[in-house]
């Protein structure tokens, strides 16, 4: 399995709308496996293909404590929503930043698995939040979009400062 590069905010490629998956083959399975490896290594609980610069409707997640329940969801569509919950979210594309986001508490989802078989899933709690978060990536939306413009600008500046610091540290140690 390969570790893929995760795009970071404000990279404009994160705003690309993902296209439906139409070919279910070994390359899709390998991408799913590589995304799971990348997600676990990061570490995170979800990753959308858009975050690794593959603009197809594919997401992987694992919200289990033991990190032993990986899921791959292809071409997801939310059929029903119920309730509201506020959850503090983070994102592998927005490292080190967390904010409260309101999401549906329960969802019912239609999708496909990595082999193209239809699946239907009901989710609540953290799993519902994670699915909705990753589905936002597929339409070019990030959790920071739920923040005020002022807070979003502060996040962008903080990440730029972190990148400059990391680059100068890397240069100094070279």
| Residues with active-site annotation | 134
Residue whose structure tokens are 């807070």: 151
CA–CA separation, 24 and 78 (whole Å): 21
Distance of CA 98 to the CA centre of its chain: 14
CA–CA separation, 136 and 120 (whole Å): 19
For β-strands 85-91 and 94-103, DSSP reports them as antiparallel
Residue whose structure tokens are 């967390």: 98
Q: Is 134 helix (H, G, I), strand (E, B) or coil?
A: helix
């Amino acid at each position: 399995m390969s570790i893929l590069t995760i795009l970071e905010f404000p990279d404009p490629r994160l705003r690309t709308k993902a296209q439906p998956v139409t070919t279910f083959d070994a390359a899709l399975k390998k991408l799913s496996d590589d995304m799971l490896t990348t997600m676990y290594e990061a570490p995170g609980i979800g990753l959308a293909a858009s975050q690794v610069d593959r603009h197809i409707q594919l997401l992987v997640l694992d919200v289990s404590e033991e990190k032993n329940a990986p899921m791959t969801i292809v071409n997801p569509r939310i059929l029903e929503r119920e309730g509201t919950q506020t959850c503090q979210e983070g994102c592998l594309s927005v490292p080190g930043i967390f904010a409260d986001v309101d999401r549906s508490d329960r969802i019912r989802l239609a999708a496909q698995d990595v082999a193209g078989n239809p699946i239907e899933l009901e989710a609540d709690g953290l799993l519902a939040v994670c699915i909705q978060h990753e589905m936002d990536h597929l339409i070019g939306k990030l959790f920071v979009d739920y923040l005020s413009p002022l807070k979003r600008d502060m996040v962008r500046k903080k990440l730029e400062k972190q990148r400059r610091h990391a680059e100068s540290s890397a240069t100094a140690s070279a």
